[in-house]
Amino acid sequence: MADWQSWKKEAAYVGGAWIGADSGKTIDVTNPATGDVLGTVPACGAAETKRAIDAAAEAFDGLAGMGLMDRVGLLWKLHDALMDNQAALAELLTVEMGKPLAEAMGEIAIGAQYVRWFAEEARRAKGEIVPAGVNGRRILVTKHPVGVVGMITPWNFPSSMLARKLAPALAVGCPVVAKPATATPYSGLAWAALAEEVGFASGAVNVLTGSARDIAGAMMDDFRVRKVTFTGSTEVGKELIRQSADTVKKVSMELGGNAPFLVFDDADLDKAVEGAMVSKYRNSGQTCVCANRIYVQAGVHDAFVEKLVEKTRALKVGDGREDGVEQGPLIDMDAVEKVEELLNDAKAKGAEVACGGARHSNGGSFFEPTVLTGATPEMAFAKEEIFGPLAPVFRFETEDEGIAMANDTVFGLASYAYTSDLGRAFRLNQGLAYGMIGINSGLITTVEAPFGGVKESGLGKEGGSQGLEDYLETKYVCIDGI
Ligand code: NAP
């Protein structure tokens, strides 16, 4: 079985070939836990991207036109190749990104599940026959692959964020031109190696590393790229939506979050704390669905904080490859500074540090898991994504107040609430302006469900049947004279 080093591809993959940048320039990739340079990747730009789009456009007819079960068979093989190499791919992910190995194993596994799910869903990409309004006519509605798809993904889930895009695209016959985040390119390049290994034709999957502006710019300018799917910050997402207008591309945008986590007086407190721990601290707080604001109803506030602090103190921080580590480093020093800035702002406005509150003694980009009490809407994290292991606790009195505070943001990705009142659960479903709502669950991502946000958290869905629909165009045929 190959080890993680052999999955570390120090080249881009374009038109079925592993290439360097035209300029010969490279970019260093480092391990955030140690600061060691792991290797390099090519600093590609617009010219290499144009060649990748040429290759993808050429591959389109072959990929879209092959027998459905042949394409599905390739996805089954892709699933198996991922799972056969799960440990090596997970280690590669941990060394470039920092998350604990157990989380990286989970990320590879859910990526494989997305591949399997979309292979299944592609077999159900059904059209419709709609009753015609007049005799002698038939109305057919049919589904077709959208065409070449450009994909841009972030560093926090370097493997599974691509899985959710690659799998539906390939399942319906759309060739791919992907650009993973510069901090974590190897898990993205591994998808190219896997696609090559299982037999996708050249041009079906292309993966480029290098300048985000140049690569994305070339994708956005090219009419042949009919869809762009992006996961990342709202700021960049807005820019891409603007750029998509010139060639009227379909866009899917998985953008930032600011998840509220509500705990009501009638909640099972131990379960609520367990949910808060997983929702807040997974990936050291660096997920778009991490609890960003924890709202606790007055009657259970103090008891909840006590339990949360106890569990937070017990978290083991360290190199993700070490046994039992639950919290890795943050991605880089900018991330540490951002967390410190939010912490200092909150302290200046009256918040109290209940535990943590400083850089970790491990040095580098490690930060202590931190609980803050006395959080208020005036503090910066009430409006901004923290993206780090900082858990601010707000107090609220009534259900209406809790919902209003939770909705007081431009974001609308994930939200969570703990309650034992069934009626309240339905009122929350109605009242929370979020694309995803976890009732009595802090971990809600699953392949069967449509993952995605509302408001400034994005457009479109990944997963579920909706996640396939985003890669399809609908045509209508009117047959007259029957
Ligand atoms: P980011 O700065 O927006 O980067 C994401 C991707 O966009 C990277 O590949 C990056 O390339 C590229 N990029 C940067 N500037 C660009 C530009 N001007 N034009 C085109 N592409 C550009 O976000 P991040 O800091 O990596 O990721 C964290 C953000 O992602 C958070 O806001 C988080 O909430 C969000 N996220 C959302 C979801 C979701 O499903 N909704 C999931 C995960 C993360 P470089 O790496 O080369 O800069």
The residue to which tokens 């079985």 are assigned: 1
Q: Ligand 1 in contact with 154 (CB < 6 A)?
A: yes
> Please, are residues 157 and 38 in contact by the beta-carbon 8 Å criterion?
no
Instruction: State the Cα–Cα distance between residues 25 and 45, nearest whole angstrom.
Output: 10
User: Which residues lie below 8 Å from residue 73, measured CB to CB, with a gap of 6+?
Assistant: none
Ligand 1 centroid, distance to 253 Cα (angstroms): 10
pTM over 0.95: yes
Q: Ligand 1 in contact with 232 (CB < 6 A)?
A: yes
Q: Which atom of ligand 1 is nearest to the CA of 257?
A: 34
Q: How far apart are the first and last CA of the chain?
A: 60
pLDDT value of position 2: 82
Q: Which atom of ligand 1 is nearest to the CA of 210?
A: 47
Residue 298: CB atoms within 10 Å: 11
Which has the closest alpha carbon to 467: 235, 105, 65, 120?
120
Q: Which two structure tokens, joined as six digits, stand for 145?
A: 């692959």
> Please, are residues 406 and 386 in contact by the beta-carbon 8 Å criterion?
no
pLDDT value of position 1: 61
Instruction: State the Cα–Cα distance between residues 10 and 8, nearest whole angstrom.
Output: 6
Instruction: State the Cα–Cα distance between residues 237 and 362, nearest whole angstrom.
Output: 34
Instruction: State the Cα–Cα distance between residues 220 and 244, nearest whole angstrom.
Output: 6
Give the torsion sign (CA, 107, 111, 114, 116). negative
Which has the closest alpha carbon to 282: 420, 42, 100, 50?
100
pLDDT value of position 145: 98
Q: Ligand 1 in contact with 279 (CB < 6 A)?
A: no
pLDDT value of position 295: 98
Q: Ligand 1 in contact with 385 (CB < 6 A)?
A: yes
Provide the residue type at 307 as one letter.
Answer: K
CA 113 to chain centre: 15
Q: Ligand 1 in contact with 370 (CB < 6 A)?
A: no
> Please, are residues 200 and 175 in contact by the beta-carbon 8 Å criterion?
no
Instruction: State the Cα–Cα distance between residues 301 and 298, nearest whole angstrom.
Output: 5
Instruction: State the Cα–Cα distance between residues 417 and 420, nearest whole angstrom.
Output: 10
Q: Which two structure tokens, joined as six digits, stand for 24?
A: 């010969």
What string of pLDDT tens digits covers the 482 residues of the chain?
689 999 999 999 999 999 999 999 999 999 999 999 999 999 999 999 999 999 999 999 999 999 999 999 999 999 999 999 999 999 999 999 999 999 999 999 999 999 999 999 999 999 999 999 999 999 999 999 999 999 999 999 999 999 999 999 999 999 999 999 999 999 999 999 999 999 999 999 999 999 999 999 999 999 999 999 999 999 999 999 999 999 999 999 999 999 999 999 999 999 999 999 999 999 999 999 999 999 999 999 999 999 999 999 999 999 999 999 999 999 999 999 999 999 999 999 999 999 999 999 999 999 999 999 999 999 999 999 999 999 999 999 999 999 999 999 999 999 999 999 999 999 999 999 999 999 999 999 999 999 999 999 999 999 999 999 999 999 999 999 99
pLDDT value of position 447: 98
Which has the closest alpha carbon to 90: 222, 1, 16, 218?
1
DSSP helix, strand, coil percent of the chain (3-state; round to 5):
40, 20, 35
Ligand 1 centroid, distance to 100 Cα (angstroms): 21
Q: What is the DSSP letter of 381?
A: G
Instruction: State the Cα–Cα distance between residues 51 and 48, nearest whole angstrom.
Output: 5
Characterize 467-481 residue by residue with b for buried, 16 or more Cβ atoms within 10 angstroms of its Cβ, and e for exposed: bbbbbbeeeeeeeee
Instruction: State the Cα–Cα distance between residues 434 and 233, nearest whole angstrom.
Output: 17
Give the residue numbers marked as catalytic. 254, 288
Longest dimension (CA), the chain: 79
Q: Return the best residue to mutate from 97, 228, 258, 288 for the ligand 1 pocket (most ligand atoms within 8 A of CB).
A: 288
Q: Ligand 1 in contact with 261 (CB < 6 A)?
A: no
Q: Ligand 1 in contact with 156 (CB < 6 A)?
A: yes
pLDDT value of position 271: 98
Ligand 1 centroid, distance to 236 Cα (angstroms): 7
Q: Ligand 1 in contact with 212 (CB < 6 A)?
A: yes
- Pairing mode, strands 137-145 and 128-130: antiparallel
Q: Ligand 1 in contact with 233 (CB < 6 A)?
A: yes
Which has the closest alpha carbon to 162: 153, 150, 173, 149?
153
Ligand 1 centroid, distance to 436 Cα (angstroms): 20
Ligand 1 centroid, distance to 404 Cα (angstroms): 29
Ligand 1 centroid, distance to 234 Cα (angstroms): 8
Element (H, E) at 397: none
Indicate which residue's Cα is closest to atom 8 of ligand 1. 181
Q: Which atom of ligand 1 is nearest to the CA of 458?
A: 41
